[in-house]
Amino acid sequence: MIENAFFQTGNIEPWILLLGLLLPRLALFLAWMGLGAYPPNPLSDIVNFVLWLIFPRFLIAFYIYTDMGISNIWFWLYVVLGIAGLLGETGYAHRRIVRRTTVSRDGSTVTTVEEER
């Protein structure tokens, strides 16, 4: 009997799964370079490359799905982190800092910093 199928890693090495949570492109690149077993998948090389560039977490989630199915914590971690990465921190990206420098006739300068929301 399988003790806990929810935490199993299947044919994908555990270091790829752990490193892929933080740095998915690096984890896939290192696995592709031969430092680990590259996850088995039915995708062509060009599709693997394009997905590696655009959606690396979803690519690893697809590998997990083809290897172990969706009843696994790794699959759901990658799906949740992939969606969170797509949504991002929208408020942070739209914040602007405006600096205004005023120069008087005698050559002295005054810089004011304003944060716009």
Q: What is the DSSP string of 35-46?
A: ISPPPP-SS-HH
CA dist., res. 110 & res. 103, Å (int): 7
- 0.85 cut: is pTM over it? no
Q: What digits encode the pLDDT tens for the residues 52-65?
A: 999 999 999 998 89
Q: Is 90 helix (H, G, I), strand (E, B) or coil?
A: helix
**What residues does each domain of the chain span?**
5-90
Q: What is the DSSP letter of 5?
A: G
Q: What digits encode the pLDDT tens for the residues 34-54?
A: 876 777 778 888 998 999 999
